[in-house]
Amino acid sequence: MSNIYCSTTVLLVENFDVELTDKPVKVYNFQVEDFHTYYAGGLGVLVHNASNEYKTKTVRTAKGEEKIPIVDKPGSPSWKQAVKELRSARKKGNNYIASNRQQAEQLINEAMPDLPKAETYATNAPKSNYQIHPIDNEYNMPHICYHDWAKGKHNGSAGHIFWEE
């Protein structure tokens, strides 16, 4: 990895050409986990990662249609950000989408390791718990419904972690 010095020439590409070919061309779409800006290729091209904003998906919720952030695989920047946000979340509406049920449970357990799992729709569950819910009249995706009210309503949080079926 190289350093950029004040004498380094930096160019911003604003115009580009698109060439249509009949042959397939291999392309790569990836994120560099620990670096926001890095050099790529032998030409020393400086590449800037996209912002840390989440990709989103529209989900039907009790509030209506909502754009919910999609969390990438465990350990990814979006995963780490979701864990951080879940740990510091307050009040209701802390919602995310994981790839599958296993990753949804892994996310809630990593963010809130002391949160017990309760039976689905349990009426006698502790005030802090998470439950696995199927698709229902309010939500069009299966999800974890969690409540963490151990420190009271002002210092606790509630939300959902959805996943694709």
- Average confidence (pLDDT) over 12-39: 67
pLDDT of 28-49, one tens digit each? 655 555 555 666 666 666 666 6
Band (pLDDT 50/70/90 cuts) for residue 153 is confident
Burial class (CB in 10 A: 0-12, 13-18, 19+), 16: exposed
Cα–Cα distances (Å) from 160 to 67, 91, 129, 147, in that order, read: 13, 12, 12, 9
Task: Please state whether the predicted TM-score (pTM) of the whole model is above 0.75.
Answer: no
Which amino acid, residue 139? Y
Rg value, the chain, Cα: 21
Judge whether residue 132 has pLDDT over 80.
yes
pLDDT of 101-127, one tens digit each? 999 999 999 999 999 999 999 988 888
Q: Is 61 helix (H, G, I), strand (E, B) or coil?
A: strand
Q: How much is the pLDDT for 22? A: 82
Domain spans of the chain, in order of start: 55-163
Q: How much is the pLDDT for 99? A: 94
Contacts 24+ apart (CB under 8 A), 146-150: 146/108, 146/112, 146/115, 148/112, 148/115
Judge whether residue 163 has pLDDT over 80.
yes
* Tokens coding 161: 């972690």
CB 67 within 8 A of CB 132: no
Q: Which residue has the tokens 């357990």?
A: 109
Task: Give 19 or 78, the one with higher predicted confidence.
Answer: 78
State the chain's mean pLDDT as an integer: 83
Task: Give 3 or 126, the one with higher predicted confidence.
Answer: 126
